[in-house]
Amino acid sequence: MPAPRQDTRGIVNAADLLSRVRFRRHEPAPRLRPYLEHYWLIDWDLPQPYATHVVPHPSVNIVFQRYARQEPFAEVAGVGLDLFSQEITAVGRVCGVQFRPGGFRPFAPQAPVAEWTGRRLALPAVFPDPAHAPALAGALDAVLAPDDDHVRVAALDALLLGLGPHGRGPEPDPQADLAMTLVDRIRRDRSIRRVGDFARDQELPVRSLQRLFAAYVGVGPKWIILRYRIHEALERAEDERAVDWAGLAADLGYADQAHLVRDFTATIGVPPTVHAAH
């Protein structure tokens, strides 16, 4: 499996955020790697409040969070449809598990992943089986209390290896494997622009592809194609001083620059030229 990604795709004003917080990614245990992108850890100690903004990936996350003047908590965050914003202040810590798109269902096979889309639920609400109780017991403190990254990672490994249908970790699921493979192709191949063409290339009916994505990813293939376009446009807007927006629109498969501007503005809240100027 590939090492954790090094890019900052999806993070709005990434350089500004990373100058204020300690952000790290870590690999999970070998048995978990087929299903996970990585673990992500953030710690901060800020004199002034700071607002973070993220364009979510088509991934489910398990997130352990500790903020100033709040009780720590853990939740399952389904695929986020809108821009996610969070104010951080004083001293805090977040430890997260980012699943590969399609990789969460083997841990919670009782419901289609679309059931969690756009929702954030307490961890026990998604894993109510008594077989999961040993893994959940004490997980909050085990993940958030240690200062050593390796100890936190070990606690996350122990949690995930205690979930799954029988409380013994994920079990093989060919449909999950297929979903993960297909989403990865969309992410890597910018020539994939239409769902119908993609379905034909995979020798799948469009409806079968859509049902697979609803059950295992949580959003449809058209949404994912668009989201990865916006991630790339956002990264270009932040990395380059002078972006050829018309050329980028063509590279990403848009009919024209206006369509890219419309989608970027709807997702980020400002036009790409305005965002790039900040």
pLDDT, tens digit, for every residue of 243-259?
Answer: 888 998 988 888 889 99
Judge contact between 233 and 21, C-beta under 8 A. no
Average confidence score pLDDT of the chain: 93
Identity of the amino acid at 56: P
What pLDDT sits at residue 105?
Answer: 97
136 within a domain of the structure (yes/no) = yes
Instruction: State the residue range of the domain holding 32.
Output: 14-161
How many structural domains does the chain have?
2
Other C-beta atoms within 10 Å of 161: how many? 18
Indicate the burial class of 121 (C-beta count within 10 angstroms; 0-12, 13-18, 19 or more): middle
Rg (CA), the chain: 19
Residue where a domain terminates, one of 161, 182, 211: 161
Note the pLDDT tens digit of each residue in 210-219: 999 999 999 9
Sequence-separated (6 or more) residues with CB below 8 Å from residue 54: 10, 11, 12, 80, 83, 84, 85
In a shared domain, residues 104 and 126: yes
Buried b (16+ CB within 10 A) or exposed e, 198-235: bbeebebeeeebbebbbbbbbbbbebbbbbbbbbbbbb
In a shared domain, residues 195 and 136: no
In a shared domain, residues 108 and 178: no
What pLDDT sits at residue 40?
Answer: 98
Other C-beta atoms within 10 Å of 258: how many? 12
223 within a domain of the structure (yes/no) = yes
Judge contact between 163 and 135, C-beta under 8 A. yes
* Helix intervals (H) in 68-129: 123-126
pTM: 0.94
Which CATH number covers residue 241? 1.10.10.60
Other C-beta atoms within 10 Å of 29: how many? 15
181 within a domain of the structure (yes/no) = yes
Sequence-separated (6 or more) residues with CB below 8 Å from residue 185: 192
In a shared domain, residues 254 and 153: no
At 275, the pLDDT band (50, 70, 90 cuts) reads: confident
267 within a domain of the structure (yes/no) = yes
Judge contact between 237 and 276, C-beta under 8 A. yes
CA gap 113, 126 in Å, rounded: 11
Which CATH number covers residue 30? 2.60.40
pLDDT at residue 86 is higher than 90: yes
262 within a domain of the structure (yes/no) = yes
Judge contact between 44 and 88, C-beta under 8 A. yes
